[in-house]
Amino acid sequence: MSLDDASGRTYSDAWHRVSSVRACLRSSVRAHRQTFRGEKWVVLRDSLGSEFFRVTADAYAFLSRLNPQRTIDEVWGELIEAEPELALTQEEVVQLLGQLQLSNLLQFDRGAAAASLFERHRQRRGREIKAVLLGFLSIKLPLLDPDRALDRALPAIRVLFGPVGAALYAVLVLLGLKALLDESSHLFAQSAGLLAPTNLGLLYFGMVLAKLVHEFGHAAACKRYGGEVHKMGVMLLMFAPLPYMDATASWGFRSRAQRMLVGASGVLSELAVAAVAALVWAHTAPGVLNALAYNVIFVASVSTVLFNLNPLMRFDGYHMLVDFLDVPNLFQRSRDQLKYLGERWLLGIKTAQPAARTANEALLLPLYGVISLGYWVVLMSSIIFFIAEQYLDLGVALAWIMFFSIVVKPMFDFGKYLLASPKLQHQRSRTLAITVGIAVVGLGLLAAVPMPDRIRVKGVIQATHSRELYSDSGGALVDLLARPGERVAAGQVLARLENPELEFEILSVRQQREQLLAQELQAISTTVADLEPLGRQRQAIEQKLTELLRQQQALTLRAPIEGIWSASELDASRGQWLARGGSLGTVVDERDWRFVAVLPQVSTHLFEAGVLSAEIRIRGQQEFNLQSAKTEVMPFEQGQLPSPALGMAGGGEIAVLSSDPKGLAAAEPFFRIHAQLPAAESSQGNDGDILRRLHGRLGTMRISLPNSPLLFQWERGVRQFLQRKFRV
């Protein structure tokens, strides 16, 4: 970099703070080179601790010249004169020294050390407290140093991470897969009880076992390739203690393949545990051991693949992705690139420095930053809601901590940046004006500009007048006197059933009645005392005969109302036996239709705003839109759903009672919305034909409300969600 742009990027307004300082790298710091995408980097490691820091070759060229006998300004000036192509800018030097100081990798002269010792300790302590607050669901407590034990086990580790170990691993995993395939019919039968209270103890024990092997896998791989592991302890993950080991020494490996293998070794170890558990589960009878093995299978396979291998979280998958992409420090640089984009294009700071060094990184870094931040927010929100469902007070406390982490603290840091950052020393007023302008315009757009307000609710197409037909008597279908799909009149005979057993039973009951009548006549002249019991028996027989005759009449199926008889499945049932209560189709009066939708009771804003229009789309017929002629919201609670498909068991949004076998009894209050549809005979185009075919089909209704600002719509959505979730 030339000095021609000295007014822009070379000089820093904060240079006076470091120019007279005398410092150098600590004597315990070791350095070695790594290569990423053909670019040379240097990894700095404190051999007395576990601090790592990766810098560019240009930055190390500056750091290697530091000497307690010379000031920072002297070293920088010497580098400018000797090798200007390697020289850092003053701003880069300031940032580099600040980061190295916080990582405790710099040693100052005695005067500076005495002045900065307390400050450095305070900053370091502040960083630790900040890490605990931001990672309140994942707190690490180191307990012991396992490095000597790993040294003694090194011969066995070399075997496990050699050809013999790879072959044994492949055989074990294949045997585990075969066991699962052989028992695949029972594999998912136990999954419903994984989170049952009686299984939580076994699930936790299985998780501890799997994670212990996982961490030892990392440590063994790190030791195999020359690393050291000095920390082993307990990590409080969501307040549940789990084992952990610090294998960060692998970050300093020159070989990318070795670094990736150390990252993958934990997951590979867990999959081996899952294979062993699969063999145990497949060859044991139901019991504690069988249930424990099943829990280990779940924890060591599904959960480790979804979480540990997820590159959006800073676990194994993230570090493997960094090495695979050859993009060092992806997490922090993605946020630095987002900061740069904000400074450069929103605040107009032309001296802002990008974190991306290539065109690919310019696209990758902000994309990863946005996706990972969004995923973290969604994950933390899901965990907090899950905890709040069981322990509301604890969930509320965690929600406040999260609100502070993602809203209050970033706003405080941004305000501090605007008011005190040396980077804005000569353009602070302009930056403040731009920030206030963006805030005012953004808030105005969200809070004052009316935007389309629509809600979507699920419902079912129904004829206003329709009757379901059921066989009131079992019998064989012998004749169809009306063709399904045709219009029928009320009382018209549709089909005939035949039941010889019913005929025989009617004949038998009639004979019993005749016999009882004869006995009653005899009792009048002989044994009057028997007359009353015989009368009661005859009444019971006559009631039974009446019911049998009713069932005999039900063998002739008649249309209860006028309409279209829909029973296409009966064409293939001729001659087959139809059980009592079996469906015989539906008679639908196609002249009057409606769409019946349901929505939770918290959506009371529909009554206040009023419905402007409603548009309906039927599932499977999205190309057709049905316009509602009239839409009404029933302002009273409902208890029975119009269709079981609208309950959660059928994929809907309304919770239903598990005790109701039909799935129609709602477990929460809801409102019904009736949308009147055009009559089939007056519908334009194909609407009439569509309605005739879609009675009972599910659909979605989009209701248009009066326009309102987005901020009010979002506030309403959040409030309704909390009211429904927690009844607050």
CATH of the domain at 508: 2.40.50.100
- Chain-centroid distance of CA 394 in Å reads 21
Please give the backbone phi and psi of residue 91, each rounded to the nearest 5 degrees, phi first. -65, -40
Q: Locate 624 and state its tokens.
A: 């057709």
Q: How many residues does the chain have?
A: 728
Assess if residue 332 is contained within a domain: no
Assess if residue 72 is contained within a domain: yes
Assess if residue 376 is contained within a domain: yes
Burial class (CB in 10 A: 0-12, 13-18, 19+), 170: exposed
Q: Which run of H or E residues covers position 34?
A: strand 29-36
Place of tokens 């500056």: 62
Contacts of 175 (CB under 8 A, 6+ apart): 275, 279
pLDDT of residue 364: 92
Rg (the chain; Cα; Å): 38
Q: Are residues 620 and 577 in the same domain?
A: no
Q: Locate 315 and state its tokens.
A: 């676990």
The residue out of 416, 448, 480 marking a domain boundary is 448
Place of tokens 């699920």: 458
The residue out of 134, 163, 198 marking a domain boundary is 134
Assess if residue 76 is contained within a domain: yes
The SS3 assignment for 438 reads helix
Q: Are residues 321 and 371 in the same domain?
A: no
Question: DSSP letters of 385-431?
Answer: HHHHHH-HHHHHHHHHHHHIIIIIHHHHHHHHHHHH-GGGTTTHHHH
Q: Are residues 119 and 146 in the same domain?
A: no
Cα angle 89, 91, 96; round to 5: 95
Q: Are residues 317 and 436 in the same domain?
A: no
pLDDT of residue 684: 43
CATH of the domain at 73: 3.90.930.60
pLDDT of residue 174: 94
Compute the distance between CA of residue 98 and CA of residue 56 in angstroms, rounded to an integer.
Answer: 16
Assess if residue 337 is contained within a domain: no
pLDDT of residue 1: 33
Q: Are residues 165 and 191 in the same domain?
A: yes
Number of domains making up the chain:
5
Farthest-apart Cα atoms in the chain, separation: 142
Compute the distance between CA of residue 294 and CA of residue 280 in angstroms, rounded to an integer.
Answer: 9
- Chain-centroid distance of CA 112 in Å reads 51
Q: Are residues 378 and 304 in the same domain?
A: no
Q: Are residues 292 and 150 in the same domain?
A: yes
Order across the sheet with 583-588: list the strands: 466-470, 583-588, 563-566, 487-488
Assess if residue 647 is contained within a domain: yes
pLDDT of residue 237: 67
Residues of the chain with pLDDT under 70: 1-14, 36-38, 47-52, 86, 102, 109-138, 192, 195, 237-239, 528, 568-569, 571-572, 602-611, 622-623, 635-638, 649-651, 679-695, 727-728
pLDDT of residue 596: 85
Q: Which run of H or E residues covers position 715?
A: helix 710-726
Listed residue (457, 462, 459, 696) closest to 593, CA to CA: 462
Assess if residue 339 is contained within a domain: no
Q: Are residues 630 and 689 in the same domain?
A: yes
Please give the backbone phi and psi of residue 4, each rounded to the nearest 5 degrees, phi first. -65, -30
pLDDT of residue 118: 43
Compute the distance between CA of residue 448 and CA of residue 450 in angstroms, rounded to an integer.
Answer: 6
Assess if residue 383 is contained within a domain: yes
Q: Are residues 604 and 497 in the same domain?
A: no
The residue out of 105, 134, 163 marking a domain boundary is 134
Place of tokens 């570090």: 319
Q: Are residues 211 and 241 in the same domain?
A: yes
Q: Are residues 580 and 594 in the same domain?
A: no
pLDDT of residue 164: 92
Q: Which run of H or E residues covers position 112?
A: helix 110-134
> In which domain, by residue range, is 261 found?
142-326
Q: Are residues 193 and 272 in the same domain?
A: yes
The SS3 assignment for 44 reads strand
Question: DSSP letters of 533-578?
Answer: HHHHHHHHHHHHHHHHHHHHHHTEEE-SSSEEEE-GGGGGGTTSEE
- Chain-centroid distance of CA 459 in Å reads 25
pLDDT of residue 117: 40
pLDDT of residue 111: 46
Q: Which run of H or E residues covers position 106?
A: strand 106-108
